[in-house]
Structure 1
């Protein structure tokens, strides 16, 4: 009851942050000039229309029968949204699990996301950049730059966005060229030693060509101190550039060419100790020697490591989009190629003291312990061809063909303890045809329906290169290269009925089916059996009802959503503990899940100078059937861990709550403009509070994996130019009350004397800074 009360109070009083989206009155210009983009409200202080491309065509947000949050470039700047992890602060039902490197992180909507070690498993939440879906979810963690709009679509979106959108989509739209020559330069400096520079130049080249180029350089020291070396870990250095050309080739043909490159190098994320039991050890070495001078706690930002981590990400993407005006419809072609390389080095034992190669032999000392390294290389080519109707008519339509060919290589090595090394690859080739139409029965009653046929071919190769490996010792793993091939066909569909019940008030009900493709469990322990039996596809059935409204002369926007989604064969990462204590990663199909709840989003402009945005979500996401789930580390028979054949163990997780799915989550933000009539600038004040309830961070239910409820307050004050003066200066604070929280919790050490390790993200501690931007 307490959560329900807060939900309705938040939705009635505050405001959906996400509806502050890309706003412009009516028509959407090809590229708004900077001065036009600074204010998202009309002159009389009311809210403007919000235009989104959530259904692959430009539509008013309030006409789209989808639960979608839209975050404008103004909100991105004002609220300091600079990474994909920041989006969770400003969108209901979105949570992000950060891990020791991006390949272990996951993005979740309404409790549903994908955490997998395998390169052969696609995400449940698709990340789409300028109409192109990223192949590997880890590619999304390279930072955000020069973004026009972020759209978060909640619930299955496979009809339009494909097989990797089973739980939703984060649609990223970058900025287009401006109609007049313009430019800007910005800088950020923080108390935790971040220094960032970014610049942009945009405008026309003659009558028929527009350009936009932007670049950035970001250098941030770490915030976790390694007492062994004195170095600060979890820092990051990155740089990147994007170039775009818009060409009016003929009066009926437009072409957009975009190229983007980012390079990110970090020395984290590392875990620290939250607690250490007496006698805890790793690979025969007592942990006590590695916590000298450290007090394990939920606010511990120190560690001792003998191998410092390294993460390097290099990503390039090239996109060509051509639009041919056929009169009654536009024919659109989108061709893209992406290339992503990633390499990491991690301390495997999380210690800064020697370990033993053989726990029974005290002379088998390993002075530098054990480490793990891996390299990834993903390439993906996509081609989409759409025919989209134009103009106002009783029946609007979109029909399209899609093709994708992706390939990912990975090598992995760890040791000398728990030694394993292998080389693998994953292939996916997709053919799809889809269509969606809108039929207006009357001026107030509308039907939206779509269908997609998807055919996918997948492949995997795996070679076990562990030194001295033997088939028996490695569970029959692939000493000679294992190969797997399979294919699958699937039809998904969606239907929505909308009814306008008053001017600018609409209700809708929808039903959709979702699908995430099958995949190979490519990880340590891969066997011929895995090559012959890919993990089954994940399917879902989703029901949604919603209200979208504009009230009080466009001064209030309130959107409400109720959802109920049943998942079958959900793909979940776990591990099987063998009789010798070795944990072998294993991807499993959970029998059934259910996610249901209520979401509210609100934007209000009570006065010309004050804007309030808020969102709230109550989510009940549970496992309905998972009788043969792996046990968590250290789980006993009394705690439900049951021995099985072959020395493995299992537990029954039926009825358990999903990981990283807080029951209640809300955020409230306010922006107040302060006028200085006698000066050339005005002031502003922003405040934001984001809260989430207690959450379990481990699917398998380890009792130490719960993060207590917490709230974080961010704020800023500053000045910005008025009229022709284009500049902004903001002093800001992140996490004002220094609220510490973890995004990952787990055991380390032996199962009979455990220690708890945590991942504390950068935003889990207070820092202050200044952001400046000057444009022309």
Structure 2
């Protein structure tokens, strides 16, 4: 794979260098246009409502990022895209455990559970990508990205209660064209992209694109003498367009993407006192085994994780899209198959001790979708009506093992004085001091999910007058999920560990890994609808208001469920109810100063009943997390976008959002670490104060009124570019200087807010300066995180209620040079 990547990097570099001479092979007028921006009015054309229209005419809060802006700002995946769109949040500890949220909602914060849907739909050329792991890959030959905020279920065939990311790639052309780009930078950064398109015959055109990214990691592992959190991505996309008549396009697309990064790890951030006995908290446990963390400063970017790390991630698929202008409208069919292959290895104890020596849950997914829709645009009525069918199968095989340090770290030796070794004469003390009790203890997990979901949807736009439009939409959806989960447990000598024997060793092992087998299933019908009123006050001023009643599909727990006193699975917890969503939004879209300036404003409120939340268990492997329904959450706020281009020499933008997202009612939530780890308070007993060692702990906590995780109250994106006409090496063009910045205020990095897991607000600044020609040649230097801001992307609570807090620091300052060209 390294040889292939290096070959592609070198090949694209040569193509990029050759591009200036090729740029004159064809004039811009001869090429079929691929841009989504009208030269005459500077209007941005979008397909948010499944038809082409200008962004300012769409009554949706929408952020549009063009392909050039993606390249110029280094936003080559969804994680970086969030710096340009303030209400988009992306969180990841590895590709599988990733989540995309909009306005604070979309997916539970924490470990991913395959048994539920994402609330933010990701679509590439009309194809639904069900696994959010796809968001970690590089964008490949992208023309434009639309981030649609708010429910979109009546136009998009799968759950989009929080919004959608609609990605459009460049399509095959019947005129020859191409582009190439190569970048180098510090941290051994190398990136190359190329695409070429043209005719194979009068009716057949093809396009092929390739992308490769390679970068050294940003965290150094002293145990393995390797940099981790690296980037090692490669992607290919090929398209064939057959146009037998002027009113029929048939496009066949195939793509393949692979990541082979040394990933994913964390660094020590801090410890916080829990309610565990003091001798069972992190400092005492580490001292008892003579362990000292490599660094207590997370920005030293040092770790000592001792388990194997891997994040092998591969996706691909094929799609057949047919667009037929038939009758007064257009009939579109999209048939697609996608697969996902996930090969992880993790260190789940977050330390350099051999506590959890193996944690891996490889998964394989196959997904099939079929969408059929008809679009009509008339003088008084526009409509879209369609059907969508979806089938998904996921198979997962898990292996988790403990090592020789686990007994001492994991098992509670009983009441011993703080500072003592904990190896007294009692049975529980001796178990904790006998490595063989847990050394080699292994859980083998087998699970699968079958997910079937057909839907019918439609949306009508009735132009009552030239100014007033009424737009109702409906969707009828059926969901069926069938799952299987089995965990078998074996001692280090291979002996099965089962319930029944009551000897202390078996009891100790079962407290870490418990066998379980369940076959959860869920099915339900749902009907959702929305209504939007649009009023055009003037040619360049649009007002709109929307009400939506929608849902997110129910789900099943694919990672096991809690057990009762007899160790039987609590089957009532095997399924989670659908989220019921009510959404209100009002906004305006305006242009002024001869359309040199644009100002858009949106105010929203979303109420969700039966919010699907992750409930986490404090033990290592008994049950790390499962899904449950919180009573109610609410997110509300205001968003504003302003752009201005007073002349061809200068443009600027600023986007901002205030988001107030909180749990309205969640009375039985998991407790934060400062209220965990002690003996559970019984009837008539009062839990102790937070962070008091040895205090009683509540069974659960009421976090009603507290902020949802991952949401900053304030978020901004801003930037500007200035250029000056000039020439370089006898080529006419312009020198330019650009800046892009972002800011977000503090946010919680734990499902239940904790004093230990708030991430401070931070601001990032990116600069670029270069020279470009009208023919498409562009060379520029760039620096990202220019002021080397220290910030954390995410914090995680270590297992076992020991008080350990680890995190992932954001990228340091990076800089480099990019050479690009078009022909």
Short-chain TM bin: 0.7 to 0.9
8 Å CA contact 1:147, 1:172 repeated in 2: yes
Q: Structure 1 CA distance, aligned partners of 2:284 and 2:200? A: 64
Q: Structure 2 CA distance, aligned partners of 1:696 and 1:185? A: 41
Deviation at 1:430, TM superposition (A): 0.9
Task: Identify the match of residue 227 of structure 1 among 222, 225, 230.
Answer: 222
Deviation at 1:652, TM superposition (A): 0.2
8 Å CA contact 1:630, 1:651 repeated in 2: yes
Aligned partner of 1:382 in structure 2 is: 369
Matched, 1:197 2:216: no
Matched, 1:470 2:498: yes
Find the residue that maps to 1:140 and give its secondary structure. Answer: helix
Aligned partner of 2:822 in structure 1 is: 775
Task: Identify the match of residue 716 of structure 2 among 626, 650, 666.
Answer: 666
8 Å CA contact 1:508, 1:545 repeated in 2: yes
8 Å CA contact 1:117, 1:522 repeated in 2: no
Range moving further from structure 2, 280-289 or 67-76? 280-289
Range moving further from structure 2, 173-182 or 535-544? 173-182
Q: Structure 2 CA distance, aligned partners of 1:432 and 1:377? A: 25
Task: Identify the match of residue 634 of structure 2 among 567, 591, 594.
Answer: 594
Deviation at 1:420, TM superposition (A): 3.0
Alignment of 1:226-375 (within 5 A): 226-276=221-271, 281=282, 284-286=285-287, 291=292, 294-355=294-355, 370-375=357-362
Alignment of 1:437-516 (within 5 A): 437-467=460-490, 468-471=496-499, 481-516=517-552
Matched, 1:756 2:805: yes
Range moving further from structure 2, 736-745 or 481-490? 481-490
Deviation at 1:351, TM superposition (A): 2.4
Find the residue that maps to 2:756 and give its secondary structure. Answer: coil
Alignment of 1:742-753 (within 5 A): 742-748=792-798, 751=801
**Normalised by the size of structure 2, how large is the TM-score?**
0.83
Task: Identify the match of residue 455 of structure 2 among 426, 432, 444.
Answer: 432
Change (3 A) 1:476 1:199: closer
Range moving further from structure 2, 666-675 or 274-283? 274-283
Deviation at 1:68, TM superposition (A): 0.8
Deviation at 1:128, TM superposition (A): 1.0
Task: Identify the match of residue 81 of structure 1 among 68, 75, 83.
Answer: 75
Aligned partner of 2:735 in structure 1 is: 683
8 Å CA contact 1:281, 1:750 repeated in 2: no
Alignment of 1:463-612 (within 5 A): 463-467=486-490, 468-471=496-499, 481-525=517-561, 528-530=569-571, 533-577=574-618, 584-612=624-652
8 Å CA contact 1:484, 1:531 repeated in 2: no
Deviation at 1:96, TM superposition (A): 1.3
Deviation at 1:529, TM superposition (A): 3.3
8 Å CA contact 2:527, 2:550 repeated in 1: no
- How many residues align? The count is 718
Q: Structure 2 CA distance, aligned partners of 1:94 and 1:110? A: 7
Aligned partner of 2:389 in structure 1 is: 403
In structure 1, stretches of 5+ residues that fail to align are 1-30, 356-368
Deviation at 1:217, TM superposition (A): 2.0
In structure 2, stretches of 5+ residues that fail to align are 1-27, 273-277, 411-441, 491-495, 501-506, 564-568, 677-686
8 Å CA contact 2:790, 2:809 repeated in 1: yes
Deviation at 1:427, TM superposition (A): 1.2
Matched, 1:414 2:400: yes
Matched, 1:126 2:121: yes
Find the residue that maps to 2:351 and give its secondary structure. Answer: coil
Task: Identify the match of residue 97 of structure 2 among 94, 98, 104.
Answer: 104
**Normalised by the size of structure 1, how large is the TM-score?**
0.88
Deviation at 1:577, TM superposition (A): 4.3
Change (3 A) 1:93 1:728: same
Deviation at 1:263, TM superposition (A): 0.8
Find the residue that maps to 1:159 and give its secondary structure. Answer: coil
Find the residue that maps to 2:726 and give its secondary structure. Answer: coil
Change (3 A) 1:471 1:169: farther
Structure with higher Rg: it is 2
Range moving further from structure 2, 737-746 or 671-680? 671-680
Task: Identify the match of residue 627 of structure 1 among 664, 667, 684.
Answer: 667
Change (3 A) 1:667 1:240: same
Matched, 1:697 2:749: yes
8 Å CA contact 2:31, 2:176 repeated in 1: no
Deviation at 1:286, TM superposition (A): 4.0
Matched, 1:65 2:59: yes
Change (3 A) 1:378 1:32: farther
Task: Identify the match of residue 423 of structure 1 among 446, 469, 477.
Answer: 446
Task: Identify the match of residue 52 of structure 1 among 46, 55, 65.
Answer: 46
Q: Structure 1 CA distance, aligned partners of 2:284 and 2:178? A: 57
Q: Note the alpha carbon deviations across 1:327-368, whole angstroms, 9 max, x for none.
A: 30111111000011001001122222445xxxxxxxxxxxxx
8 Å CA contact 1:344, 1:373 repeated in 2: yes
Q: Structure 1 CA distance, aligned partners of 2:559 and 2:38? A: 51
Deviation at 1:247, TM superposition (A): 1.0
8 Å CA contact 1:631, 1:641 repeated in 2: no
Find the residue that maps to 2:307 and give its secondary structure. Answer: coil
Find the residue that maps to 1:465 and give its secondary structure. Answer: strand
Deviation at 1:479, TM superposition (A): 5.4
Q: Structure 2 CA distance, aligned partners of 1:492 and 1:542? A: 11
